[in-house]
Amino acid sequence: MQKRFTHIVNHLASSGKIFSNEDLINKVLRCLSRQWQPKVTTIAESRDLTNMSLATLFGKLQEHEMELMRLHKHEENEKKNKGIALIAISSSIQEENDKEDLNEIEEDDDLSFFVNRFNKFLRNKGNQISIQRRKEKISP
């Protein structure tokens, strides 16, 4: 961007159109995207734009661009690392949940088996009692 801007400004200067340094800096700051807005605001408020050179402006913008790139790479690495960790954690949690479900099923099976046996015992006990009562009624 710097080369193209400088090339255009030089051609305009050679044709007789001269801009003040402040106008050139404002034109550069206005053409930057929304992503650059915090940096644009900082530059506009930190120094008097009439005293700043174009080289200083472009230096600050390149600095900010390198910082954004570094942050972007760092975020990508974090996403990759987190993704692997989450997969490992989720699979281990899933295994634990499966084990707990199996234990609950086994406990349910054991409980239902016990209930069935107990009911059978009560029925048999009830049958034995009714048989004894019948015998008592028959044999006076």
77-86 pLDDT tens trace: 877 776 555 5
% residues pLDDT > 70 (the chain): 69
What does the pLDDT read at residue 135?
64
Q: Which residue has the higher pLDDT, 127 or 17?
A: 17
pLDDT on residue 13? 83
pLDDT (mean) for 108-137: 73
Structure-block tokens of residue 130: 């009714």
Is-contact 79 52, C-beta < 8 A? Answer: no
Average pLDDT score, the chain: 75
Q: Is the pLDDT of residue 74 over 70?
A: yes
Report the alpha-carbon distance of residue 45 to residue 57 in Å, rounded. 13
CA distances for 129 relative to 96, 118, 119, 133, angstroms: 48, 16, 15, 6
On the question of pLDDT at 132 being above 70, the answer is no
pLDDT-derived band at 28 (thresholds 50, 70, 90) equals: confident
Separation of alpha carbons 43 and 57, rounded Å:
8
For residue 38, pLDDT beyond 60: yes
Nearby residues of 20 by Cβ (< 8 Å), 6 or more positions away? 50
What is the C-alpha separation between 9 and 24, in angstroms, rounded? 8
Sequence ranges of the domains in the chain: 2-138
